[in-house]
Amino acid sequence: MATASASFKSREDHRKQLELEEARKAGLAPAEVDEDGKEINPHIPQYMSSAPWYLNAERPSLKHQRKWKSDPNYTKSWYDRGAKIYQADRYRKGACENCGAMTHDKKSCMERPRKVGAKWTSMHIAPDEKIETFELDYDGKRDRWNGYDASAYFRVIEQYEARDEARRKYLKEEQLKNLEEKNNKKDDEDSGSDDDDDDDFLKVDEAKVDESKQMDFAKVEKRVRTTGGGSTGTVRNLRIREDTAKYLLNLDVNSAYYDPKTRSMREDPVPDSDPNEKFYEGDNQNRVSGQALEFKQLNIHAWEAFEKGQDIHMQAAPSQAELLFKNYKIIKDKLKNKTKDTIMEKYGNAASEEALPRELLLGQSEREIEYDRAGRIIRGQEAALPKSKYEEDVYINNHTTVWGSWWKDHQWGYKCCKQTIRNSYCTGSAGIEAAEAATKLLKTNMARKEATDDMPVQHEEKRHATWGTEVPDDLVLDKRLLAEALKKEDERKKEERDERKRKYNVKWEDEITAEDMEAYRMKKIHHDDPMKDFLH
């Protein structure tokens, strides 16, 4: 929004100004008007519409965005080339000694040096040139086409058109000459017919017709200095009018889309018709054929190579991109041929093997086969059983039967050795006996284990001595000392549960008696004891 120079506004005025700007943008309020009475676009940003402080703009305006500094001395006119102003009758002092003009000296004279200059002859004095001085602006000094007359180039166009016209006239005369020579030949009078003569006369008449009356589709009509300015060129449409327009090939509204502005139809209008009878298959046909397809592949290769880290660009270095693509195709062909040779070396090539026998190729043989009246074979050839595409009756690993000839416990196997492993080696009857013995032994061991599991094992409780040895049978414990040891063990457990009751000075005794060990065992928690949770 164009506003005046920055001034202090209260909060209420600022809010009203924002509401007014929003209304102007929405079209609810009239647009702001500048000094010249022109409306200011409310969508112009403030940094563009606000005038600098040093211009002291009192009213909203956009003059600061226009070229408000203009020098009236600047001009866009140019020198009047070849203009003369005055021609003297005799030589004047200070004039050119060669031609007698006052506007230049002898050193800058452009005329042919005379044998005797005009200074001494005072004859044939050249007129003075018109000398002009201009004060050009910044653009005028750097305009390379300043002073150029476009009509001067029209002479060049006329020269080329005259040359083309002479060439067409010469070719027309040659054509007429050749046709007349063919008509004047008397060697073909006997073989010729009246129809051929009529055609020849028609050709001569067509050749004699003026070229301007024929359908010259390639002729270009040029107009120089038209009303709109500049030169224009109009080219006739090259489509033969007898051909059906592409948008009339299929009148279905759901068929290929035709763009009337660019006159393009990318898809095929009649895709179901015979391709040999179609003369138009859509504009996309040109994009997937010829050099267009090669250029597309080149661009795709350049993109993929750039993504993989190679320094290649189709527009910056097209020659490099084309050379890399050419090398890529050569390397790809070599790798493809190498892979093909490897596969043929491993699996063979049926095409290069020996040719089939002649009797197989022609369907003839010397085998005698006898048929009955119904067409059934009596003798000479047994009826072949139909086979599947898989190999049959193939025995591997010394087996005498195929896989799947034996079934037991929901598993397939070999009948010859009764094995359920697919790639196992056949062991024959010995393998069957060993398998039966192993099964029998396994059943015996399982029965023995079940019998032992039914009888629980009674473990003898052993009492350990003080230092981990077995407690001897003749060990006698003092009941009074054992009671003191149990009491001491309770106190120790109590101190472990509550560390606050531990004294500062702790006495340590490393002498452990048999009663102390017995008290420790009695108070120790056994984790496998089912009543351990009820001890405390």
As a whole number of angstroms, the distance between CA 321 and CA 297 comes to 11
Task: Say yes or no to pLDDT of 129 above 90.
Answer: yes
Helix, strand, coil content of the chain in percent (nearest 5) = 40, 5, 55
The answer on pLDDT for 360 being more than 60 is yes
Contact, 369 vs 377, CB < 8 A? yes
Q: Using alpha carbons only, what angle is made at residue 306 by residues 303 and 308, rounded to the nearest 5 degrees?
A: 110
Contact status, residue 312 vs residue 302, Cβ threshold 8 Å: yes
CA distances for 239 relative to 260, 269, 431, angstroms: 16, 18, 90
Q: Single out the residue of 243, 242, 238, 270 nearest to residue 256, CA to CA.
A: 270
* pLDDT (mean) for 27-52: 88
Cα-Cα end-to-end distance for the chain: 90
Q: Quick one: DSSP state of residue 513?
A: -
Flag whether pLDDT at 71 surpasses 80: no
Position 361 confidence tier, pLDDT thresholds 50, 70, 90 = low
Could you give the CA distance from residue 129 to residue 342 in angstroms, rounded to a whole number? Answer: 89
Task: Provide the whole-model pTM.
Answer: 0.26
DSSP-assigned letter for residue 113: P
Rounded Cα gap, residues 145 and 41, in angstroms? 36
Across the chain, mean pLDDT equals 79
Band (189; pLDDT cuts 50, 70, 90): low
Name the burial class of residue 1, with classes exposed (0-12), middle (13-18) and buried (19+) by CB atoms within 10 angstroms of its CB: buried
For residue 188, what pLDDT is reported?
65
d(CA 374, CA 237): 75
State what percent of residues in the chain have pLDDT above 90.
21
Cα 233 from Cα 221, distance rounded (Å): 6
Exposure b/e, 127-145, CB count within 10 A at least 16 = b: bbbeeeeeebeeebeeeee
Phi, then psi, of 112 in degrees rounded to 5: -65, 135
pLDDT digits (tens, 9 = 90+) for 409-448: 888 888 888 888 888 888 888 888 888 888 888 888 888 8
How many angstroms separate the CA atoms of 54 and 67, rounded?
A: 17
pLDDT in tens, 154-174: 999 999 999 999 999 999 999
The mean per-residue pLDDT over the stretch 270-293 comes to: 85
Measured in degrees and rounded to the nearest 5, phi and psi for residue 525 equal -85, 120
pLDDT, one tens digit per residue, over 209-267 is: 444 444 444 444 554 444 444 444 554 555 666 778 888 888 888 888 998 888 889 89
Using CB atoms within 10 Å of the CB of residue 399, give its burial: 0 to 12 exposed, 13 to 18 middle, 19+ buried. buried
Cα–Cα dist 429/400, whole Å: 12
Inter-CA distances, 427 with 209, 433, 435, Å: 105, 10, 10
In the chain, the amino acid numbered 189 is E
Exposed (0-12), middle (13-18) or buried (19+): which is 265, by Cβ within 10 Å? buried
Question: Picking from 11-20, 118-127, 398-407, which range would have the lowest pLDDT averaged per residue?
Answer: 398-407
533: part of which helix (H) or strand (E)?
Answer: none
What mean pLDDT is predicted for residues 197-217? 50
Nearest-CA neighbor of 437 among 429, 425, 448, 426?
Answer: 429
Q: Report the share of the chain in percent with pLDDT over 70.
A: 73
User: CA 298 to CA 322: how far, in whole Å?
Assistant: 7
Listed residue (487, 492, 528, 485) closest to 508, CA to CA: 492
What pLDDT, on the 0 to 100 scale, is given for residue 5?
A: 42
